[in-house]
Amino acid sequence: TQTQWLTPFGFGCQLSDSPKRGRAEIGRKHKGIVINIVDGQWQVEINLADIQANLRIQPAPLSLPISLCTPTGYNGWTYT
The angle at the Cα of 58, spanning 45 to 13, to the nearest 5 degrees, equals 35
- pLDDT tens figures, 33-43: 898 988 778 89
> Does residue 1 sit within a domain?
no
> Does residue 33 sit within a domain?
yes
Range of the domain at 54: 8-79
- pLDDT tens figures, 19-68: 677 888 888 767 888 989 887 788 999 998 888 999 998 877 776 667 77
DSSP 10: G
Task: Record the pTM.
Answer: 0.61
> Does residue 3 sit within a domain?
no
> Does residue 2 sit within a domain?
no
Could you give the CA distance from residue 29 to residue 76 in angstroms, rounded to a whole number? 33
Predicted pLDDT of residue 53 = 94
Q: What's the total number of domains in the chain? A: 1
Predicted pLDDT of residue 55 = 94
> Does residue 46 sit within a domain?
yes
The angle at the Cα of 66, spanning 63 to 72, to the nearest 5 degrees, equals 175
> Does residue 56 sit within a domain?
yes
> Does residue 21 sit within a domain?
yes
Length of the chain: 80
> Does residue 14 sit within a domain?
yes
